[in-house]
Each structure stands twice: as C-alpha cells, then as structure tokens.
A and B are shown apart, each in its own frame.
Chain A
Amino acid sequence: MNELRDKAEAGELIQYIIIKIDDEQYGINIKYIDNIVRMQQITRVPKVDDYLKGVINIRGEIVPVMSVRKKMGLAEDEITGKTRIIILKTGEGDLVGIIVDQVNQVLTLDSNNVEKVRYDDKKGKTEASFVNGVGHYDGGLVSILDLDAVVSEKDAKEKAQNAG
C-alpha cells in the first residue's frame, strides 16, 4: 500500500537528456537513446529527402542521420564544436541518428511534472508538432520531443498538410 501511495504522490521518475536545437531546449527520454557521438564525417546518400543528411558508421552498423532542424523547417545546421549526433533506438530496433546543436544536461523529471500536449494544441504550429509534452523543473520549462514524429519519414511540410 505504502509503495502504491508513494508512487501516486511522486509519480514515475524519468531521466531526460536536455538538448538544444536553435534557441529552444528539448528533452529526450533517456531510454530511447543508444549513444551520443560527436559530429563526424557523414556519407551523403543521393536522391533522398533533404532532412536525411546521410549515413554514419556506428560500431560497424550503417546508421542514417537526419537533421531535426530541416525536419522542423528551421535553418540549416551550423556545425560547431558542440554539435552532437544522438543515436536513437526506434521501435523496430533500428538505429537512427539526429543532429542537435548542443547537449546540455541530464534532467530527472517526475512524470507528474510532465504535461501531455494534446493534439489540438499542436495544430498549425509545425514546430510544436514534434513535441508531445512539456516538463516543469526548477529552472523553467522544457519541451519533450515526440521521437516518433522526429524519426518518421514525413517532414514538417507534409505533417502540416496532413493536419490541415
């Protein structure tokens, strides 16, 4: 009983990696992250969607890398010393890399402090359609990335069309 009550009060503790894309901070649930690597030579694949930057070699496996900025319809990535590639595990067990401007910290959030974003709220705002929650923490608010949307094969334009 005690345990149950504790859980109800405290909620589930989830760790998020806080990253920066453009000027905004996003959280990624740590359980979907396989690895974080430094920016490296990406082998371009011709004739694919422009958000797909190419492929990299992760431990002998060929992993596609995509630009979240491109997907969100933002400006082209600026590669700096802080740029990282976050390797995500998709539902089917494949690996996909996403390029982020910076990795800031690891944040532990109580699931009670994460507010789900309803679909209505997303409508029309292309940027927001990659977010499925907002987390509250001492320092402020952080958007939680909807990874399914990020790694899906559609980009912001198509999403907007579908939504409209």
Chain B
Amino acid sequence: MDVSQYLSVFLDEAKEHLQSLNDNIMVLEQDPENEDCINEIFRSAHSMKGMAGTMGYTRMQNLTHDMEDVFSDVRGGKIKIKSADIDVLLQCLDAIQEYVDNITENQDEGTEEHQNIIKALADIRNGASGGGADAADAAPAAEAAPSGGDAPAAGADGSSDYRAIKLDPSVKSTLEEAVSQGKKIYGVTVHIQESCILKAARGFLVFKGLEEIGEIAVSDPSTQDIEDEKFDFTFSLIVITDESKEKVEEIVKAVSEVEGCECGEFDLNSAKSAEDKEEAPAPAPAAEAPKPAAEPAKQTPAAAPAAGGAGGKKPVGKPVVNRTVRVDIEKLDVLMNLVSELIIAKNSLISAANTSGVSNGNVNEQIEYLESVTTNLHESVMKVRMVPIESVLQKFPRMIRDLNKTLNKKMELTMTGEDTEMDRTVVDEIGDPLMHLIRNSADHGIESAELRAQRGKPEVGQIFLHAFQDGNSVVIEVGDDGNGIDAEAVKNKAIEKGVVTPDQAALLTEKQCVELLFHPGFSTAKQVSEISGRGVGLDVVKSKVESLSGEVTVRTKLGEGSTWVIRLPLTLAIIQALMVIIGEEKYAIPLDSIQSIEDVSPSDIKLVENKEVINLRGSVTPIIRLNEVLDTESTKSPDEDMVVVITRKGDQSYGLVIDELMGQQEIVIKPLGKYTAKCKLISGATILGDGEIALILDTNSVI
C-alpha cells in the first residue's frame, strides 16, 4: 500500500497528538488523579500507535504502544502515576517527537529503538518506577536472574518475537485443547531478508507451508496485517502440529528470501494472555521468561480489545470537532496574490474612470460596491490565513518545566492571549524568537531562589507572555520579575567587545545602552550555558522580527525585571496607507505608523540644539523635512503652512513634513529587490491605479 500520500496528514495529526499528550501529562503532574486527562492521554497514545502502525513506522508504534499500556493500567486503577513517572513519560514524548522529526525530514523514523524508555515504561507498569529511564537502565540487573536479565529476547530488536505473542482467551483454549490432544505447539519467528520486496508474499508462503502440516493458531502481526505488508521484516506465529520442530524450521526456511527463523516449543504457562496485563516479572522458567521490556512488538490482538474498552468507557464532553478542510499554505498564497492583483485592478479602474470622465453617479456606485467587495474579500482571505498563536506557545510551559530542572531555579510561566490570531507565515516564524526571549528570561532574568529570598522577592520567579491585538498589529510581551538589565554592565561589555568606543559609550542614555543588547554578536551571559549558548543572540531575534516588518523593544528596571515587547503587523501583503506627495514624487506611509496629521505654521518651529521642533499639544516634537531626507525639492514656499505627519518611534513622537496629502488607499506591497537594498528609507513599493509606482516609506528608518 502506498501511504506516502497520507504522510502529511499523519505528521499533522501526530503533532497534534503529541501536543495533547504533552499538555495532559503536564496536567497529570499537578493532578495525578485526573480521569479525563488519563483518558485523553490513553486515546492520544492509542491513536498515535494506530497511525504509526498504518504508516509502517514500527519503532514509533512500539513506543506508543507501551505508553498506551501504561495508561491502560492507570485507567484500570492498577497503578498510579507518581511524579517520577512523569519524567519517563515526557522522555517518551521526546523520543516520539524525535521519530516525528525524522519522518518529517526524510520520511524515515530512524533506527533509534529507545529501549531504555521502553524498559522504564515497563517498570512503571510493574510498579517499580524508580526515577528516569537512566535508573531504569540499571534495573534489569537488579531485577536479577529469574526473569532472565541475560536473555535479551529476540523481540528486543523492536520487531517481533513469538515469545511475546499475546493470546486472547479463545486462542488460549484452542492451544490448551491441542495440548490435551497431544499435539505439539511451536512458536516460530520468521526473519525476512531486508532486501525482500514482496514481504507479504513471503509471509503468505510461510503460512501456506505450515498450514500443510498443521494449524496456525495465531500470528503477530495478524494474518491480515501480514498480507497488507504491515510488518517490519519479522513476524511470529504459533503453529499447532504433529510434526517435529525441525520439520517446521525446514518448511519455513524453504521459502526464498527468508533469512532465518527461530523456532521453539511454545510454553503455554508463560504465555501472556490478553487480560493478563499486569503480569509481574514472575519467576518463570529461565530463558523463555517473557521480560516485560522485551515486548515491544505485541500488537493487534491485545490492542483491539483495549481499544474497544476505551470506546466503551469514553467519557462524555469531548468537544464536537469543527468541520475543517486542510489547505496547503501555498494555495492560500496564490489566492492572496490574486486578491492583490484584483485590488490593483480595482485601483486602476477607479483612476481610469476619473480620468476618462465617465464617472457619473451610477459608475461611482458600482465602483464603491466593487471596492467593498474587494475589501471584504481581502479580509476573508486574510482571516483564512490567520491561526491562533497558541500553536507556538504550547511548547513553552514544558520548556519552562525542563528549564526549572536544568537551571535549578524556581520559575513559573503565565501566558495570556493564546487565542490571538496572526498570519500563518508570521506564526511559523515567531516561535524561535519567542523561545529565545523566554530562555533569556529564565537564564539571565530570574535570579536563583536564594538571591530572590535575599531581595525579598517571592521564591518562585514569574515569567509571563502576553499576546494581544492592538489596532492593526499584534503585540507580544515577554518578561520576568527577575534581575532586570544592568545598563552599566551592558555598556562595559559593549566597550570590551568593541561594539562602541568608550567615547561613544559615555554619550549613550540608559535606554540606548540597553539597546546595545541587540547588536550582533553581543551576549552578556558570563558563560555559555546550555540554554543561552545556542548560537542565537538577541540580534537574531531583532532581525527576525524586523524581517516580519515588526519591531522589538525592551523595558527594564534593574532589580525588578524586564519586558521585551514585540510588535508585528497583522498582515504583510496588503496595508492601508496614506498617500503623500513630497517634491513631485508620490510616497505611501503605512497608516498604522501614523498618529495624526497636523497643519503647522512655519512660525511655530523652534530650534532646540539646532534641530527643528514644534510644540505639539504640550510635548516637544522634533520635525523632519522629508524632502531633505529624500533628496528632492519641496514644491512649497517656505512661508506656507506645512503638512506634518506625526509618527512615533518608541515613546517619542516625530513630525514628518510633507508637501501634500493625497488620501488614504489600500496598497499592495511589492518587494523592491536587492539593487535598492542600500536605501533603508524605503521598505517596498506599490503600484498605483494608473500604473505608476509609489515607494513605501519606512518611518522608523527615516527617524
């Protein structure tokens, strides 16, 4: 079966399940008795196991299967989750994540078996939970001989072993009956050459051969799965026959492309039965003893009834799933581009109607109608592309939990506004910068518990992340109540690193000092720790945010903490802009960077430190003559009133002097290309209704 077409669906769903597992296990850590949570984990693990199996990712399937088993026991009340178990479970999730990552990259799950985790999971089920998987690693030795610590059962290779076959009651009774009739029962594990192309056919031949001499009681995977090639290169079966063990081996090996087989008498007493899930490591006959850890391959027969049970007991209150369609983001990009084209065409139509003089009432009415349709269309397409920022925030609580342990600090993360929506491309890109800021807060911001106690702060450090929409932009604030940023330390470091000269540094305000942190190659971490030493500095955060047309600033107070503020535009491609004329050229200024527009008489201009300022409702506002910045001649005479566009950078307002206002317009941003990259004042260009190009001013760089 060709499953590649389902790969993307598989990956999407696997990620969702992983996230849900992560969340629920975190909840479980706080509230180990939470039944909803346990059920949810069980369901997710079960679905993942099924999906992995269908896709042929055996190792992933084995791991999820064992996890499911653990929760099946928890549900049944046989064991309780202890806090030490949570670590094992989270390790298990990491391992699954690793599989998923591998599959994402090269469609292959990799070869890592994670035996230690499987063992640790088995230990949880045995109630022998002792810390993480590392402890469990040592466990087999302690568990000692009877369970066959020295018998690394064949199943441990992650595939299949007849000793691990689970028997459901009916099969068991068949086998018992056969024994009573004096027949022999052999377990056979068949290994097929890895080069074999038609595994299913080889399996079929083995079955056919054995059926000639006896009866096959059960197989693992099931006959159906073997026929569908849903197995690795190994399968096991139990055959009831009158013939000798050698005969059975001979028949199996006679099939071509069979690499080898293990055959042995099947011991009914040591066999697992489907219900017998709790089996303690009973001191069973030595070598044959089924070690709990060595049962990664048990598959269908046992799982099916378990799943049935899950279905039956499913608690009410599972939210009704929205009807959704998964759409490739590229298709949405195409749609967005078409909408952009449409808006340009609409703008052209408007200007054509005006210049050709056909604009009468009826035409205008129709154009207005068209305008409202295109605006709505644009908004709808934009909304389709919007996803809640939640998807990137989800992993942070877990990260903080882990950081608590690695940094040996006490921290708590609070997040608000997870449902704030942003363009999908922005959401995809913003994860790393946010992660870096949070790690930064955890690593450099929050003090150690002792220091906090000395400073009279609560022992547990607070890290927060607030996301909210503010007009046409989304603001994400990440901060902590930790140490804050020491501007002097930053300054000294900057001088030491040669970022600024001592003379320059002396002139810097405290705020400017702090902003040096964004300088490339700047890191105040005294030593490279695991957390901050990932080769990403704040400069990367800044450039990433700026590449998304956003900005990042920081507010800090020494001793009280710092807050990083990221401000991002809601959408990237189409914006509302104010069209202005400077000299004889047309420019667009993004509307969200404009605070107000003022008429200023030249006599109101004062000089402060040789710079022109105006007094705008009580605050001193520097003014910038855009015609000078843009090297063009103003068309207005100096004594005329000036049109000043008030914009803001940080906390300071600035006035930009323009010649004339044209009005507000919806514009489509087009990139300018590398040749004009030298010009930082311009962030892009747009095509006006008459085909003319207007450049888009980047007010931040102008200031």
13 contacts between A and B (CB under 8 A): A43-B685, A43-B692, A44-B632, A46-B631, A46-B682, A47-B679, A56-B693, A62-B671, A62-B673, A63-B673, A64-B675, A94-B673, A96-B675
**CA of A47 to CA of B670, assembled, Å:** 19
Q: Which A residues touch B674, using CB under 8 A?
A: 94, 153
User: Using a CB–CB distance below 8 Å, which chain A residues touch chain B?
Assistant: 41, 43-49, 52, 55-57, 60-64, 66, 94, 96, 153
**Beyond A46-B682, A49-B678, A60-B344, 16 extra complex contacts between A and B, CB < 8 Å:** A45-B676, A46-B679, A47-B630, A47-B678, A48-B676, A48-B679, A55-B672, A56-B693, A57-B687, A57-B691, A61-B670, A63-B673, A64-B675, A66-B675, A94-B673, A153-B675
Q: B629: nearest residue on chain A (CB-CB)? A: A46
- For the complex, give the distance between the alpha carbons of A94 and B630 in Å: 26
- Nearest CB in chain B: distance from A93 CB, A: 11
Q: Which residues of chain B have C-beta atoms less than 8 A from A46's C-beta? A: 629-632, 679, 681-682
Query: B631 near A62 (CB under 8 angstroms)?
Result: no
Interface 1/0 per residue, B677-703 and A, CB below 8 Å: 011111001010001111100000000
> In this complex, what residue of A is CB-closest to B344?
A60
Partner of A45, one of B629, B679, B687: B679
- The one of A41, A56, A60 in contact with B341, judged by C-beta atoms closer than 8 angstroms, is A60
Min CB distance, A34 to chain B, in Å? 14
B585 CB within 8 Å of chain A: yes
Please give the distance in Å from A95's CB to the nearest CB on chain B. Answer: 9
Number of chain B residues whose Cβ lies closer than 8 Å to a Cβ of chain A: 26
Contacts of A62 in B (CB 8 A): 670-673, 685, 687, 693
Out of A41, A60, A61, name the residue touching B692 (CB < 8 Å).
A41
What are the residues of chain B within 8 A of A94 when measuring CB–CB?
Answer: 673-674
Contact residues in A for B630 (Cβ distance below 8 Å): 46-47
| Complex contacts, A41 vs chain B, CB 8 Å | 692
A62, A66, A94: residue with the most chain B Cβ atoms closer than 10 Å: A62
Nearest chain-B residue to A52 (Cβ)? B675
Asked whether, in the complex, the Cβ of B670 is within 8 Å of the Cβ of A64, the reply is no
Complex-state Cα separation, A143 to B671, whole angstroms? 34
Q: Is there contact, CB below 8 Å, between B673 and A44?
A: no
Task: Rank and list the top 6 A-B pairs by shortest CB-CB distance, nearest first.
Answer: A43-B693, A64-B675, A46-B630, A47-B679, A62-B670, A62-B685
Measured CA separation A45–B675 after assembly (Å): 10
Contact with A along B594-636 (1 / 0, CB 8 A): 0000000000000000000000000000000000011110000
Q: A57-B687, A60-B341 are in contact. Are A45 and B694 (CB under 8 A)?
A: no
**Within 8 Å CB of A56, what residues of B?**
693
Q: Which residues of A contact B693 (CB under 8 A)?
A: 43, 55-57, 62
Residues in chain B near residue A43, CB distance under 8 A: 585, 685, 692-695
Question: Which residues of B in the span 435-464 have a Cβ within 8 Å of any Cβ on A?
Answer: none
CA distance A56 to B671 in the complex (A): 13
Residue of B nearest to A63 (CB): B673
Min distance, Cβ B692 to any Cβ of chain A, angstroms: 7
A64 touches B695 (CB 8 A): no
The chain A residue with its CB closest to the CB of B686 is: A62
Point out the residues of chain A lying under 8 angstroms from B695, CB to CB: 43, 45
**Cα(A96)–Cα(B632), bound, Å:** 25
B679 adjacent to A64 (CB under 8 Å): no
Nearest CB of chain B from residue A51's CB, rounded to whole Å: 10
Measured between C-beta atoms, what is the minimum distance from B667 to chain A in Å? Answer: 13
Q: Tell me which residues across on chain B come within 8 A of A52, comparing CB atoms.
A: 675-676
A64 in complex: contacting residue of B673, B680, B694, CB < 8 Å: B673
Q: Which residue from A55, A57, A60, A61 sits with its C-beta under 8 Å from B676?
A: A55
Contact of B672 among A44, A45, A47, A96 (CB under 8 A): A45
- Name the residue of chain B whose CB is nearest to the CB of A64: B675
Chain A residues with CB under 8 A of B678: 47-49
Set of chain A residues within 8 Å of B692, measured between Cβ atoms: 41, 43, 57
| CB neighbours of A64 from chain B (8 A) | 672-673, 675-676
